[in-house]
Amino acid sequence: SQQGEEDPQALSIQEGENATMNCSYKTSINNLQWYRQNSGRGLVHLILIRSNEREKHSGRLRVTLDTSKKSSSLLITASRAADTASYFCATDRWGAQKLVFGQGTRLTINP
């Protein structure tokens, strides 16, 4: 069962611009996580935000969570060519011990 739905499916921007990706989900969650996947490789954990948190920062990444709207956003500031990848949100419910992933946003940074 799909939980997270990312929007947009694909995003293409110029290097140096900011990139914003959104994630919506359907049921109550314990936490929400964002992952990056470079082409043909495994996923890399970027950031985790708990259900009682509203915003978190990690370097050039900023994540927000709005549990009333069941949505999250990932902002990458001052994008670089190396940020080109697919980005996935994932959620779990308390006690479930497992993440459910969305279908991802394909981000392309043009030099």
Partner 1 sequence: DVKVTQSSRYLVKRTGEKVFLECVQDMDHENMFWYRQDPGLGLRLIYFSYDVKMKEKGDIPEGYSVSREKKERFSLILESASTNQTSMYLCASSLRTGSPQRIYGYTFGSGTRLTVV
Interface with partner 1 (CB under 8 A): 1-2, 30-31, 33, 35, 40-45, 48, 50, 52, 88, 90, 92, 94-95, 97-104
Shortest spacing between CB 43 and partner 1, in angstroms = 5
Task: Name the residue nearer to partner 1 (CB basis): 26 or 50.
Answer: 50
Task: Name the residue nearer to partner 1 (CB basis): 103 or 110.
Answer: 103
Shortest spacing between CB 74 and partner 1, in angstroms = 14
- State phi, psi for 82 to the nearest 5 degrees: -70, -10
Task: Name the residue nearer to partner 1 (CB basis): 33 or 72.
Answer: 33
Task: Name the residue nearer to partner 1 (CB basis): 37 or 64.
Answer: 37
